[in-house]
């Protein structure tokens, strides 16, 4: 069986969110080396250095034009492969993103992380909102299977797009196991105690509210370190420290390489994720993996991911966020208890398990033809 995969989300240098999900799936798929399975990875550009190397049963096909790629270039190639009965014609096509080829001669499967663009449309630019709304709708309608990353998102997808429950599959995300654990605090000019946030700078992450809450905490010596590249509508976030008079205590680090994240988690007093909506929330598990107490919103999928290892708050209430942060940073016993519970919680998740569960469904779908 030949499985076709859209590899573009994985084929970028600075991966976050769905890009990291796509890359980890590809990395695990290539490692399995199952004799009866072959993979054809379709790309807009040549594979970058970090992508799995080509071998027998693992090939890349670069096609263009790159503009509206899933609407034009990809469907044209798939139909050509079918018309000429080429050996590169896949049995099933998998897009580890919201977007499947507009038209496809073979069954398609997609991944939808969450439907935040439906519930919080005001948090997206008009262009992104239009594309997410319309392209996800047709992709979901035509997909034989949809993968998602939490039962919360699964229920949301079934309700929104009217899909048969058996066709929407939850595969939890995993966490990395092979990261550099060396101390790297000096690299980022961070001294003393700090609270950590990791995620893309965009309104849905509710970072401005976190900064407001941070400005009210009792410990005026502790700092807030914000890790993440700029997303859409990030300007309000950048202005928040000045608005709340904490410019000297808030540090923006922009994008941080994977090998640098462990020491940031390990040395933080606590990790806070105040998102208004999350399809999963991978930094929650990363923080737990590296022994960092976790405080998160009590909404969407986050309680599903954090379990009983996290402390929860209403993300719309700055005073409640402040209260929870004060509670954690002042109580060493509580922090130690949260760390121990976090070690137990992360054992439920791995990329190998995610990939195996995904591949099993793709195989079953390909065999239905």
Measured on CA atoms in the order 9, 15, 19, 23, is the torsion positive or negative?
positive
> Which residue in the block uniquely carries the two structure tokens 């605090």?
185
Same domain, 266 and 200: yes
Same domain, 339 and 307: yes
The domain in which residue 291 lies consists of: 185-346
CA–CA separation, 128 and 183 (whole Å): 38
322: Cβ contacts below 8 Å, ≥ 6 apart = 213, 214, 216, 217
State the DSSP string of 309-331. GSEEE-TT-HHHHHHHHHHHHT-
CA–CA separation, 160 and 140 (whole Å): 10
pTM: 0.79
> Computed over its alpha carbons, how large is the radius of gyration of the chain?
21
Mean pLDDT, contiguous 10-residue spans, the chain (369 residues): 94 87 94 87 95 94 89 90 74 94 92 94 90 93 95 96 96 70 66 92 95 97 94 90 96 84 91 95 93 96 95 97 97 96 93 92 85
Same domain, 132 and 92: yes
Same domain, 64 and 29: yes
State how many domains the chain has: 2
Same domain, 130 and 207: no
Has residue 162 been placed in a domain? Answer: yes
CA–CA separation, 216 and 220 (whole Å): 9
Taking alpha carbons only, the member of 172, 201, 183 closest to residue 259 is 183
Q: What are phi and psi of 138, to 5 degrees?
A: -70, -35
Same domain, 321 and 363: no
Same domain, 73 and 163: yes
Q: Which tokens belong to 101?
A: 């080829």
Same domain, 129 and 249: no
275: Cβ contacts below 8 Å, ≥ 6 apart = 199, 204, 205, 206, 281, 296, 297, 299, 300, 302, 315
Taking alpha carbons only, the member of 298, 281, 291 closest to residue 336 is 291
CA–CA separation, 44 and 154 (whole Å): 30
What local confidence, expressed as pLDDT, does residue 185 receive? 63
Same domain, 266 and 212: yes
Residue 146's CATH number: 3.40.50.2000
Measured on CA atoms in the order 257, 263, 269, 271, is the torsion positive or negative?
positive
**Biggest alpha carbon distance in the chain?**
70
> DSSP letter at 199?
S
Task: Tally Cβ neighbours within 10 Å of residue 231.
Answer: 20
Which residues, listed in sequence order, are joined to residue 146 by a DSSP beta bridge? 110, 168
18-32 and 351-367 helices, crossing angle to 10°: 70
Q: What is the dihedral of CA 187, 286, 202, 273, to 10 degrees?
A: -110
Has residue 180 been placed in a domain? Answer: no
Same domain, 227 and 327: yes
Has residue 108 been placed in a domain? Answer: yes
What local confidence, expressed as pLDDT, does residue 83 receive? 64
Same domain, 137 and 201: no
Same domain, 339 and 218: yes
């Amino acid at each position: 069986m030949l499985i076709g995969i859209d590899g573009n989300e994985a084929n970028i240098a600075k991966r976050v969110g769905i890009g990291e999900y796509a890359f980890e799936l590809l990395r695990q798929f290539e490692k399995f080396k199952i004799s009866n399975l072959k993979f054809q990875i379709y790309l807009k550009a040549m594979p970058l250095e970090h992508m799995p190397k080509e071998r027998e049963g693992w090939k890349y096909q670069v096609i263009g034009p790159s503009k509206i790629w899933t609407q034009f270039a990809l469907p044209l190639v798939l139909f050509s492969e079918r018309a000429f009965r080429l050996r590169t014609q896949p049995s099933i096509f998998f897009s580890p993103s919201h977007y499947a080829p507009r038209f496809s001669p073979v069954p398609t499967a997609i991944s939808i992380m969450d439907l935040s663009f439906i519930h919080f449309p005001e948090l997206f630019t008009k262009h992104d909102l239009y594309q997410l709304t319309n392209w996800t709708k047709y992709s979901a309608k035509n997909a034989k299977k949809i993968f998602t990353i939490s039962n919360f998102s699964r229920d949301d997808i079934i309700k929104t797009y009217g899909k048969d429950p058996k066709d929407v599959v939850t595969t939890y995300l995993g966490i990395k196991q092979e990261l550099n654990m060396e101390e790297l605090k000096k690299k980022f000019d961070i001294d003393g105690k700090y609270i950590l946030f990791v995620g893309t700078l965009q309104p849905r992450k509710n970072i401005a509210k976190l900064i407001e809450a941070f400005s009210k905490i009792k410990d005026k010596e502790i700092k807030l370190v914000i890790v993440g590249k700029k997303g859409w509508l990030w300007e309000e976030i950048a202005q928040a420290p000045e608005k709340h008079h904490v410019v000297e205590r808030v540090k923006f680090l922009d994008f941080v390489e994977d090998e640098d994240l462990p020491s940031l988690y390990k040395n933080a007093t606590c990790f806070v994720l105040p998102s208004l909506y999350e399809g999963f929330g991978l930094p929650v598990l990363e923080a737990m993996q590296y022994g960092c107490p976790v405080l998160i919103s009590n909404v969407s999928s986050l309680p599903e991911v954090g379990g009983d290892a996290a402390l929860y708050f209403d993300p719309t209430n700055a005073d409640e966020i402040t209260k929870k942060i004060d509670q954690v940073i002042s109580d060493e016993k509580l922090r130690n208890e949260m760390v121990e519970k976090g070690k137990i919680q992360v054992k439920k998740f791995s990329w190998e398990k995610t990939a195996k569960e995904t591949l099993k469904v793709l195989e079953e779908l390909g065999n239905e033809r």
